[in-house]
Structure 1
């Protein structure tokens, strides 16, 4: 088995598709570096001057009309059965930062995380907080949630999984369609050994692509933010979270390559296998919300949960009020990293075993 694995690893890295995959990884790194540079750079002198002018004009209006505007806002809030604070009447005064282009730091500040997650908002008076409120807050206050340079890397990092999948798919479809698979089986007729050696080679061979790719994404982004002195507060806990994400990403990349091999055997054509996965990802993104609590079982939901250490999805909870009218509120549900990892593992094992059965019985000559 080890001899077959060494042979398959050499064949994997000798293929042109694998070299093209390396180029795609470098392209993703360049895109990440450019995005980091654009979001980290401070406002230009012209932007600051224009912002100060707009702020001065708005402040002049506020000094003469501000009290009346706040009073009208309070009346509107009362008409809607809300307090002025809930209606935003206390935040109407002009602020200079509102006229400047938004900037980020590599690590989000506590204030940014609270603004992004809404964690600072207490439950309405007389109502108990949601049972999973603490879990929701913990997930939404991680460095991967929205704000900060690290928060923009998780989507690019997820594309590395697609690279691993494509490498795994093409590794077997090229041999099946060219007839070399049948020739190889004349030298090694034990099909299960051939299959698992290819799956293991795809998993191990894509580890450098995913690991080095993510390392370069983090490194170039860090350098871009550091050049503008916009790193934020770097702590040991931040690097622990980065290391945890990297480990989970590498594991998911290896599994994606194994699934790619399985889909390649089942469908025999690379375009069909990759297209099926792409269509599934697209459908999950477009039709997820109407599915309600079934979102918990979508592949994209669980991939995100595994990579980010947890995921939160929203469901409309509609029920009649005291007057019999249906009122809808949004309920947040948590998918843990453990569930996400188990979901991916089970899905990968099922698809791989099905592919083994097909490979043992199918004519590949």
Structure 2
């Protein structure tokens, strides 16, 4: 009788239930599958091409020859502006400055809770500064930020399509059902795919930022103006501010990859994902956000919050009507409100995708 009682350790090895692959192992498998997809190579080429074209454009704009041409144009404009200002009577100048100051005060009174903006009324008859005319030395951080900020939407879209196609294509090909026969715990499978898509988006963002920094370094090294060009030094962006801005771009691109996987897990069709994105951008972000409630709904849409997160706060325009009629006013949208919105949307989207994946049939 006692011989039939076996402890768990004394059972035959074949009777011990296997623990399966760890979650980290699942993520590693998904990352390898993501890398070997053809879309990953397309995204890689697209990022390299965009940064290369942007760096070449920066090179063309900061060439010493181009700077010399702008200096000649600037000198002509300064001479013409000085001649025109000399022909204006002093009392007329004073009247225009006074009118400008009244407009500035009225603008401050119309703003909701803010002080009047600086219209630079006292400098309205001064010629433009060389920096305002683009006559500045090339600066690596400024060029890097310019390339990355202009490419954040492209990087994010590429990461989104990569994540969406990575998940949705497995439903179309039938490989999702085969994969679940080896790992039947759907939450682990779905979560590992979302994590892999987020890491893929993170890699896209980091690649874009890294290539932009490399291109900016090459541009500033090659286009180093000589001492004979009277140009101003470019304003130096603090390292922590520039670094934080670039880091936020990487984060938003990573969220793009995660968002693509979430939508792919919900719709299970790459074509459906693309159709949804186009419809959302045109109908919701392009029309509804601006047409309803006089534009005051914009803080509740993705575009405004993405811009507010990347730019450490942003503004949007809404229509305000009063006794003097309707006018478009600039409204602030804070960085805190932007990242809070993005976190809430991300959590809700991930929860909905995993719940749907767990409940619906795969076939």
* TM-score using structure 1 length: 0.72
CA contact (8 A) 1:32 1:221 kept: no
The more displaced of 277-286 and 49-58 is 49-58
2:124 is equivalent to residue 91 of structure 1? yes
Match of 2:95 in 1: 74
CA contact (8 A) 1:106 1:225 kept: yes
1:83-232 superposed matches below 5 A: 91-92=124-125, 102-103=134-135, 150-151=145-146, 153-225=148-220, 227-228=223-224, 232=234
CA contact (8 A) 1:199 1:261 kept: yes
Q: Distance in 1 between matches of 2:315 and 2:99?
A: 32
SS at match of 1:315: strand
1:2, CA displacement in angstroms? 2.1
1:304, CA displacement in angstroms? 1.2
How has the CA–CA distance of structure 1 residues 263 and 72 changed in structure 2, closer, same or farther, with 3 Å as cutoff?
same
1:18, CA displacement in angstroms? 0.8
The more displaced of 210-219 and 53-62 is 53-62
2:315 is equivalent to residue 316 of structure 1? no
Q: Distance in 2 between matches of 1:203 and 1:5?
A: 11
Over the aligned positions, Cα root-mean-square deviation in angstroms equals 3.7
1:78, CA displacement in angstroms? 5.9
Unmatched 5+ stretches in structure 2: 1-22, 105-117, 226-231
CA contact (8 A) 1:105 1:148 kept: no
How has the CA–CA distance of structure 1 residues 60 and 300 changed in structure 2, closer, same or farther, with 3 Å as cutoff?
closer
How has the CA–CA distance of structure 1 residues 38 and 197 changed in structure 2, closer, same or farther, with 3 Å as cutoff?
same
SS at match of 1:66: coil
* TM-score using structure 2 length: 0.73
Which of the two has higher C-alpha Rg?
2
1:299, CA displacement in angstroms? 0.4
Aligned residues: 317
CA contact (8 A) 2:164 2:273 kept: yes
